[in-house]
Amino acid sequence: MIDIEPLRYAWTSAGEDTLALGALQVSAGQTVFLHGPSGCGKSTLLGLLAGVILPQSGRVSLLGQDWAALRPGQRDAFRADHVGVVFQQFNLLPYLSVLDNVVLPCRFSALRRERCQAEGGPQVAAQNWLQRMAMPAELWTRRADALSVGQQQRVAAARALMGQPELILADEPTSALDAALRQDFMNLLLQATRDAGSTLVCVSHDAAQATRFDVQWALPDLQQMVAHT
């Protein structure tokens, strides 16, 4: 599913804060807990996995496809087909209803739209994912900005899962939630990801969640690496 050949990525040509990784592989359906100190490169690694940024050396492949072998437009299309993202701050369109937000990936991906046909079409598939994320039906027609923070994050997860993309990336999805909601959300996200058969890479500072994932990746502190080289 994911194949990383030893890589280096630096945001600036000066090369400070270079993220260096050895070889890593993730199989289909595995769940990965990605952690490490602030600034160590967790979001950068998610950007590399999603093909939003490309390493200066090394290679990141998803489903056997090297991101760097695609032109920018092809990367966008490949990402829309195969990657669902749950952002820290949800990134819902505030003026759209809950259902319209969840259906959105089907506007950008014919593959995900087709997969939803098996469930009766995008609207029904959206309702099914909202149910799996424990969103009460009376909220489905509400504007996204009229939801609580916890509800918005469940909608964001349902949207990421639409059309069962092979890879779900979640960047600190529980950091905006209070402690009581965190556990519930992670239970729902892990179960729904398994239902979708998707691979999950989840960034979190919540160490209590780590053992619930199949694999744990700890990134070292970049500043300390610089100090030791």
The site for ligand ATP (CB under 6 A) is made up of 11, 17, 36, 38-44, 222
Question: Looking at beta carbons only, is 35 or 154 nearer to ligand ATP?
Answer: 35
- Least Å distance, CB 202 to ligand ATP, is 13
Which of 42, 154 has the CB closer to ligand ATP? 42
Query: How near is the Cβ of 129 to ligand ATP at its closest, in Å?
Result: 27
In angstroms, what is the minimal distance from the CB of 26 to ligand ATP? 18
Pick 46 or 158: Cβ nearer ligand ATP: 46
Nearest 5°: the CA angle 51, 53, 55 is 100
Instruction: Find tokens 């009376």 and name the residue.
Output: 138
In what helix (H) or strand (E) does residue 8 lie, and over which residues does it extend?
A: strand 2-9
Q: Which residues contact 113 (CB under 8 A, 6 or more apart)?
A: 106, 122, 163
Q: How far is the CB of 41 from ligand ATP (least distance, A)?
A: 4
Q: How far is C-alpha 5 from the geometric centre of its chain's CA atoms?
A: 21
Q: Is the dihedral of CA 125, 130, 134, 137 positive or negative?
A: negative
Residue closer to ligand ATP, measured from CB, 40 or 201:
40
Distance of CA 219 to the CA centre of its chain: 18
